[in-house]
Amino acid sequence: MSRVLFNPFSERFRADPYETYAALRREPAFRALGMVVVTRHPEVKAVLRDRRFSSALIPMLVERRLQEFGMRCPEVSELGKKAIVFTDPPDHSRLRRLANRTFNEQGLQSLRPMAAQLARDHLDRYAREGGDFVRSVSRPLPLKLLLSWMDIDFGHMETVAALNHDVRYFLEPGVVTREQFAHVYDSLKQFLDFFRGYVAPRGERPGDDFISLLLAPAGAQDGFTPEEVAYMCVMAFVAGAETTQALLGTALFLLASHPAEYGKLLSGAVSAGQAAQEILRFEAPLQMTKRLALEDMEVAGVAVRAQEQVLLCLGAANHDADVFAAADTFDLGRGDSRQHLGFGYGAHACLGATLAEMQLEVLLEELVRRQLPLAVLEPPRWQKQSLIIRGLQSLLLDTCSWETALEHHR
Ligand code: HEM
């Protein structure tokens, strides 16, 4: 039954995957689309922390696709080996340890004032100009924060956004045609070259930015090579820009369409931090991730063979009623939101989670500080380009009364 229901390509699923997820969760695991699909919270979590599953699946699928297309793309193969998200131990352990030089709590929290400033500036402008909230606010904020972290001029934002949008398609090799692949490959080379242009000078005159901190300090036993730093920059944008964009747009839509919940935030009954967790649970910006079984085993009663693909539905796990009370209810005050798997779990749990949460929190804090009324002007459109990201293509908010509210609370 589940096999028939599960079609992640369908319009209906994209508009509302949760009805399908609820049906799928009746079976702890099942085979569909040539994979083993896992939807319940305990089983998804168990696979994420199980070392018998490899994260190197996507590069393998990409290589397979390149062979099919008769293409040779050395940088793509390197991306597979160097990108932290696709590596297994011991390579992954080394990359993760080195990444902590800049992805540590103190370093990430130091970006909060910049994140808050960006949120204020973009909300101010949106209040004056209105239009599409995604294009004007949720898209530029994460791009600019990452640029600022890397000490790269905001003037490069559109170039970086376009290259990043192309390169992100490597995460979904199954939906890319040969022509698109050639274009995506070209974008990857340009993206790497762009960062290489910053890595070399920072090696000579280091600052306290993302790139300088990742470069091996003089005399260090182990450190990222300049080339690895360039790949790390690509990875930060690929992993952190469109996901956070999705989170910010969805957040405003959810709050606008649940006035009583938004009221709790405005009145201070729930904090921005609490609200952020529920938003991440309710609409996980990254709905799915994949693993490759390294040996024969059993997952939730289903026999999985070595080299089989396993699809982990994070969005479905976040609505598992055995873990979250009234799971399909958006409730900012609930006590169990933090158990969400929106940032994954285990060894590969999101390195940028604090950064993404921070950007949402400062945006929510600005809404509260200025007591901005939220209302949507027309039903939002969910993006259709990516199968794994859940975010809005556009969001039109009614900003008629915003300017007065902003004047009042400036
Ligand atoms: C709302 C925004 C975000 C969401 C929903 C998200 C989600 C995730 C998830 C689910 C994973 C685990 C993938 C897996 O195990 O297969 C992950 C990993 C990762 N994320 Fe995020 N992420 C977000 C923002 C960011 C940001 C802002 C950055 C950095 C700038 C970032 C960097 C990474 C990296 C480097 C990894 C790989 C970690 C590893 O393999 O050890 N993410 N993210």
Predicted TM-score (pTM) of this structure: 0.96
Can you tell me the distance from the alpha carbon of 169 to that of 147, in angstroms, rounded to the nearest whole number? Answer: 21
**Ligand 1: does its nearest atom lie under 6 Å from the Cβ of 356?**
yes
Query: For ligand 1, is residue 350 a contact (CB within 6 Å)?
Result: yes
| Best probe residue, ligand 1, of 58, 243, 350, 358 (max atoms within 8 Å of C-beta) | 350
| CATH 1.10.630.10 is held by the domain 2-409 | yes
Residue 12: count of CB within 10 angstroms of its CB? 10
**346 DSSP assignment:** G
* Segment holding 246, helix H or strand E: helix 226-257
SS (H, E, C) 261-298: HHHHHHHCCCCHHHHHHHHHHHCCCECEEEEEECCCEE
351 lines ligand 1 (CB under 6 A): yes
What's the gap in Å between 353 CA and the centre of ligand 1? 7
Contact predicate 264/274, CB 8 Å: no
Per-residue pLDDT tens, the chain, 410 aa: give them. 445 478 888 888 988 999 999 999 999 899 998 999 999 999 999 999 999 999 999 888 888 888 888 988 888 888 888 889 999 999 999 999 999 999 999 999 999 999 999 999 999 999 999 999 999 999 999 999 999 999 999 999 999 999 999 998 888 887 788 888 889 999 999 999 999 999 999 999 999 999 999 997 777 778 899 999 999 999 999 999 999 999 999 999 999 999 999 999 999 999 999 999 999 999 999 999 999 999 999 998 999 999 999 999 999 999 999 999 999 999 999 999 999 999 999 999 999 999 999 999 999 999 999 999 999 999 988 998 888 999 999 999 999 888 777 676 66
Q: Residue ranges per domain, the chain?
A: 2-409
User: How far away, in angstroms, is 244 Cα from ligand 1 center?
Assistant: 10
The residue nearest atom 12 of ligand 1, judged by CA position, is 344
**CB contact at 8 A, 315 and 250:** no
d(CA 175, CA 387): 9
d(CA 284, CA 177): 27
Q: How far apart are CA 194 and CA 163, in angstroms?
A: 10
CA of 284 to the centre of ligand 1 (A): 12
Nearest partner of 38 among 323, 297, 302, judged by Cα? 302
Contact 344 CB / ligand 1 (< 6 Å) = yes
